[in-house]
A and B are shown apart, each in its own frame.
Chain A
Amino acid sequence: MKKYLALFLCLCMMVALCSTMALAEEPAEEAEEAALIADDIPDEMTSADGKYELAFVTDVGQLKDKSFNQGTFDGVKLFAAANDLSYKYYQPANGDQATDDDRYDAMKAAADNGAKVIVCAGFMQGNALAKAAAEFTDVKFVFVDGWSFEGLDNIAGIAFKEEQCGYLAGYATVKEGFTKLGFCGGGGGTNPACCRYGYGFVQGAAAAAEEMGVHVEMNYSWLYGSSFSASPELQTLANGWYEDGTEAIFACGGSMFASISAAASANDCAVIGVDVDQSFESETVITSAMKGLSDSVIWALTKAYDGTWDEIGGKDSSLGAAENAVGLPVATWSLTGWTVEEYEAMLAAIIAGDIEIDDDYANLASTDFLTLNIVE
């Protein structure tokens, strides 16, 4: 009797496993014929020879964070699909606690799997990247949110002028009529990209406040963001702010968005998204401070394949409004206090240099029109 019971249980488990696997594979099969939309391209593919030419090593946080990692990976997938290349993503071991060794191991695994170009996302990969690039000199590395290294021509550092889109988002938010704002940043204040976003947001809000003659208050915090993840504490913090009168919070850090948009939804308030257009995630999003992650990855990968790598290899590329790499989402524009035309005029002014935006976030401070309340 017991034997049959055991057999039955085994069968049950196998059936359950098979069915969940089938569940997971279904969408992937459908996607193959579809047009080139990043979300329709499967995240995992199996190449015939077991080699994967394009590799992507993730930053802390999940692959599908609907923000930084996902946006970067979309670029890899789109380029791969357009050029019929094999691709694979690698997540360094130990998640949020990943060490330089874990990241190096991920890069080594990518190189061992036949990668020709490895895209590494996030400034924290610097040390691992220097080690891996020195060892695998035939492999090209694209360092997103990063910089170049002395003597390593196979690394292309790509940084963004986040202060520009942060500025635009801050300006738009105040123009929309919000005067009590919040900023929740990821990385605990050590991530340069997030710092630039925040500082730009403050400058933009202050500029709009000065123009409109209003006074803006802003809560500014790095709390509960060190691992770029959602947490009950972050949701309580955001709830507290909204309850206290804050009208819009700039959720600047990957999956932190989930906590803040949940709080915004509970309080019927607004959120400003980051990195990619996040208006599809929640109805509470009024606009997003975007950087063209996937476009710049495609741009860099193109240079790696068409023989013009020397233009970026071993150099720092800082992409801003002039390169069309930062901005607000025009296609899903929902703001009424500030029109697309006005936005484009301002973008042109930034490109022309008529509006100067400071990128040295050490200068962060209150102004006559904006009171900064730093919560720590």
Chain B
Amino acid sequence: MTFLIQQTLIYAVPLMIVALAGVFSERSGIINLALEGIMIFGAFMGVLFVNLAQTAGWFVEAKAAGNWMALQGFELLAMLVAALMGAIFSLLLSFASVNLRADQTIGGTALNLLAPALVLFFIRLIANQNTLQMAKGDAASWFMIKKTTLGFEKNADLGFLGNTLLHKVYLATYVCILIFIVLSIILYKTRFGLRLRSCGENPQAADSLGINVHKMRYAGVSISGALAGMGGFVYSLTTANCTSNGDVAGFGFLALAVMIFGNWRPLNIAGASLLFGLFKCVAAAYSSLDINGDGVKMLAKIGISSHVYRMLPYIITLLVLAFTSKGSRAPKAEGIPYDKGMR
């Protein structure tokens, strides 16, 4: 059970944070198809930062001394770099769609095509291969929080909650959940959030009340870029051993789907990504899953083909989309360039 919860979170958290990235952009009125591209770029920048910092000798002493606080700081710093670079990368989208009033779908697609090519180009220059890795060690030994890092004995029993939440986890997971909650509150409970949402529903009305629509849309897309960039790095840290190879396994597009079947609402999005993460985890690890802890691996015993398990996450996505899309309601003004003269 502990294993199931942890692995589900590992898949669900990047999805959740990137879907929220989509929400921020679309609520401000810009369709952000570029989530995948920004994720790839953010992952690359985060990994590059880790790699360069290690090569430069930063935090190597902290690692040798077992100073895990410093290493967690290193992880947060890398997340910050990824977020910053994601935001900068997303400026390309906001510039094209706000200032130049270009078609947002095409702009986003262009970024999706640009990012993997650009990233692979740089990786080949830097590492002379297709994957950029950490310069030293692996993600788990540098960044993962375990019982032993917290000063407990290796065999200490921390109870169910302790074992689940404090052993073999990444700080990034919790930071993302925290950011998710804070930003959801900002979107719904603050003046800024209300203004942002109004620009996605009726920008002319917002403008007439003195809200700068262009600024709001820039803000929405930049927040979106920062979240997607960070999500990309968190994905590569927790599931890909902190490597970057110009690919995030379609998580950006999945996040778009999650956003739509979450109906552009944070709470629904969290639920949807947990559902998807759960089935993704079941698909990969069904053979060793012991759900109720009685030592019987039920899923492996009932003899369903592994292909069925591997299809499950996508079938569930399709099913839920089919049943919920009727009630889904996109922000009214998304995709339409704001034109002051049009009332």
Question: What is A's interface to B at a CB cutoff of 8 Å?
Answer: 20-21, 23-24, 43-44, 62-64, 95, 219, 221, 223-224, 230-237, 239-241, 243-244, 255, 258-259, 261-263, 265-268, 282-283, 375-376
Contact = CB atoms under 8 A, between A and B. Distances in A.
Contacts of B283: 233
B126 A233 contact: no
B288 A261 contact: no
A233 B138 CA distance: 17
The 3 A-B pairs at the shortest CB distance, nearest first, are namely: A240-B285, A232-B239, A236-B284
A20 B127 CA distance: 11
A266 B7 CA distance: 12
Given A258-B241, A265-B140, A223 B288 contact: no
A237 B285 contact: yes
Interface of B: 3, 7, 10-11, 122, 125-131, 133, 137-141, 144, 146, 148, 154, 168, 239-241, 243, 249, 281, 283-285, 287-290, 297, 300, 306
A20 B144 CA distance: 30
Contact of B284 (A21, A240, A266, A267): A240
Contacts of B289: 240
Contacts, number: 101
A231 B289 CA distance: 19
Contact of B131 (A62, A243, A265): A62
B141 A283 contact: yes
A259 B122 CA distance: 23
A92 B86 CA distance: 33
18 contacts: A20-B122, A43-B128, A62-B129, A219-B288, A232-B239, A232-B249, A235-B239, A236-B239, A237-B284, A240-B289, A244-B288, A244-B290, A255-B131, A258-B133, A259-B241, A261-B138, A266-B144, A375-B287
B58 to A, nearest CB: 17
B7 A23 contact: no
B225 to A, nearest CB: 19
B241 A230 contact: yes
A262 B241 contact: yes
A239 B129 contact: no
Nearest to A263: B140
Contacts of B10: 236
A237 B283 CA distance: 9
Nearest to B3: A243
Contacts of B126: 20, 23-24
A276 to B, nearest CB: 16
B296 to A, nearest CB: 12
A132 to B, nearest CB: 24
A265 B146 CA distance: 11
A282 B138 contact: yes
B139 A241 contact: no
A265 B148 CA distance: 13
A236 B281 contact: yes
Given A255-B131, A265-B141, A266-B140, A236 B306 contact: no
A266 B239 CA distance: 12
Contacts of A263: 140
Contacts of B249: 231-232
A244 B122 CA distance: 40
Contact of A265 (B133, B138, B288): B138
B137 to A, nearest CB: 8
Contact of B241 (A219, A235, A241, A267): A235
Interface centre among A44, A62, A266 (most CB of B within 10 A): A266
Contacts of B137: 282
Contacts of B128: 24, 43-44, 63-64
A263 B288 CA distance: 14
A234 B243 CA distance: 14
A233 B283 CA distance: 8
B125 A24 contact: yes
Contact of B130 (A23, A62, A282, A376): A62
Given A244-B297, A375-B287, 14 more contacts: A24-B125, A43-B128, A230-B243, A232-B240, A235-B239, A235-B241, A236-B10, A236-B284, A237-B285, A239-B285, A243-B288, A244-B290, A258-B133, A375-B300
A232 B284 CA distance: 9
Contacts of A43: 128
Contacts of A283: 141
Contacts of A232: 11, 239-240, 249, 284
A265 B138 CA distance: 8
B288 A241 contact: yes
A253 B287 CA distance: 21
Interface centre among A44, A258, A375, A376 (most CB of B within 10 A): A258
A233 B243 contact: no
Interface centre among B126, B148, B241 (most CB of A within 10 A): B241
A240 B131 contact: no
Contacts of A44: 128
B150 to A, nearest CB: 14
A262 B285 contact: no
Contacts of B7: 236, 239-240
Given A236-B281, A268-B154, A282-B138, A230 B125 contact: no
Interface centre among B7, B11, B283, B285 (most CB of A within 10 A): B285
B125 A20 contact: yes
A236 B285 contact: yes
A96 to B, nearest CB: 10
A286 to B, nearest CB: 16
A262 B138 contact: yes
A265 B142 CA distance: 10
Contacts of A21: 125
Contacts of B284: 224, 232-234, 236-237, 240
Contacts of A282: 137-138
Contacts of A223: 306
A70 to B, nearest CB: 9
Contacts of A64: 127-129
